[in-house]
Amino acid sequence: MSDGKCQSDVIEPLCAKKFKKDDQNENGVNESQLQLRDFILSKILNNNTNRKIVCALGNFKDKSGVALVILEKNAFKEEELNEKGYFSEDSELRTFFQNDIYGNYVCFPNSSINGVKTTIIYPATEKHIAKYSQQEVHIILETPQLYQKYTLSHLAKEQFNLQWVYNILEGKSEQDRVVYDNKCEKEGFVLLPDLKWDGLTKETLYLLAIVRQREIKSLRDLNEGHLPLLKRVRDEGKKAILDKYNVPGSQLRIYLHYQPSFYHLHIHFTYLKHEAPGIYAEKSHLLDAVIDNIEMMNDYYQKATLPFTIREMDTLFNVYETNGYIKRIKENIELIDK
């Protein structure tokens, strides 16, 4: 957008456009060559029975570096609950037991509706391994002083590489997945399905709005100068989702994470019926509440004490533990035993 305007009439919806995917990712990996049959398992990092998701650590044959393979059972799609889907002649029932009117079975439906959502991270870093490993979690009440003294300096050294974010914003990657694109550098954003969503099942709808301003890292940086951007993301994001997925704004949960998984401001849009990870009070901040807080006090998020969860394998945990703000579970158990 050459004239720098930010009006809605110059916003470009990309719902119907298709772009050729790059053969290689930013690490030079030809993703089409990665096959699960070549994956050699070394360790199960996490097996979450509630979310029906498992993360495996290993490597691919004849390739250097380690990889993560994340497998997740898909949610049921209502349009597949018919005679062509689960109730078709191809579905097979195997009996566990029958007792009076009750029967317990295993269903083997048509393979076309029996896929498993699969995410591959390769090559994976130690940070990725820590992120996806099952571990103990703690809450930190982060004052502005703690943010400046410990958290901020940690972010400068330890945050994830953001090249994949810039690839999306610059139109180099994932353009066939983009739902909406406002190209204004000051108030613009890109809206696309989150990696945790298959992009198809309405019941698990989950989109991410990634803002174009690169200097905004997180909730801590927001002030009244960002209100036009936040309101635009909220209002235009709602409209784009209504137009494409027929989900009204009143059925959307729109929120920010603190701390976020990556430090470039992004906003989550999920279906209210979907209990997405990270929607709970210790991590999630509703966008409308964020806007209201800033309207009441310009520097609210520079002055507020903000809670966040931290896991024992995170390097930031070591910083807060070393300085006496948190203790490992093992130490707490030892104190109880005494």
pLDDT per residue as tens digits for the range 96-146: 878 888 888 889 998 888 888 899 999 998 888 888 888 788 999 999 999
Question: Alpha-carbon distance 48 to 134, whole Å?
Answer: 9
First to last CA, the chain: 67
Q: Annotated binding site for substrate: which residue ranges?
A: 164, 174, 194, 196, 257-268
pLDDT given for residue 329 in this prediction: 62
Confidence of residue 265 (pLDDT cuts 50, 70, 90): very high
CATH of 136-322, one of 3.40.50.1860, 3.20.20.80, 3.30.390.30, 3.30.428.10: 3.30.428.10
Task: Give the Cα separation of 209 and 229 in Å (integer).
Answer: 11
Which stretch of 172-176, 247-251, 324-328 has the lowest confidence by average pLDDT? 324-328
Clarify whether 266 is annotated catalytic. Answer: yes
Answer whether 0.75 is exceeded by the pTM: no
Nearest to residue 14, comparing CAs of 324, 244, 235, 318?
A: 244
Distance CA 214, CA 208 (A): 16
Domain ranges of the chain: 31-74, 78-112, 136-322
Higher pLDDT, 159 or 189: 189
Percent of the chain with pLDDT over 70: 87
pLDDT above 90 coverage of the chain, percent: 55
Binding residues: 164, 174, 194, 196, 257-268
Q: From the candidates 128, 138, 266, 274, which is the catalytic residue?
A: 266
